[in-house]
Amino acid sequence: MIERTLVLIKKDGLERGLVGKITTRFEDAGFKIVGSKMVQVDEEFAKKHYTEDLAKRRGEHVRKYLTEFIKSGPVIVYVLEGVHAIENVRKMVGETEPRAARPGTIRGDFAHVSYAHCDNKKQVVKNLIHASADKKDAEYEVKLWFKPEELCSYKRVDEVHTL
């Protein structure tokens, strides 16, 4: 099943110079980048991305931290396409809490903070990256961040040269 999913490399990923390493992981796994841009997010857009549903699930304070953080610097936005892209990209990204993320995942290899630490400091969990959680979120987020004409189709070399 070929799917599309949204990925954001957040401000902390840019500041640490990890964009290339993160992008390479997705390309090495066979995902296609079908949309890409750098965006500076405003308050209104941040609240569209981090919806009220998030506040219900995780608390309004979490939504506030996330919206403030996403507005604080540019983000790199990708739409990735591939086989079971939503599930497989989430596996590659790792658990939302970096402390719980397994080695070999993006968060597990490049971040280490915990919810408790960040709650104590009253700050957002800097976990480098966002990936759509499920099919519903992926459809909503791709449409939110990209106009249809901003997404491209092409064949990767591994699609052209198959056995």
Closest CA to 12 of 69, 61, 66: 69
Instruction: Please tell me the distance from the alpha carbon of residue 56 to that of residue 75, in angstroms, as a whole number.
Output: 25
Name every residue whose Cβ is closer than 8 Å to that of residue 68 and which is 6 or more positions away in sequence: 124
Which residues are known to be catalytic?
Answer: 130
Helix axis angle, 85-93 to 19-28, nearest 10°? 140
Name every residue whose Cβ is closer than 8 Å to that of residue 89 and which is 6 or more positions away in sequence: 5, 7, 26, 31, 80, 131, 132
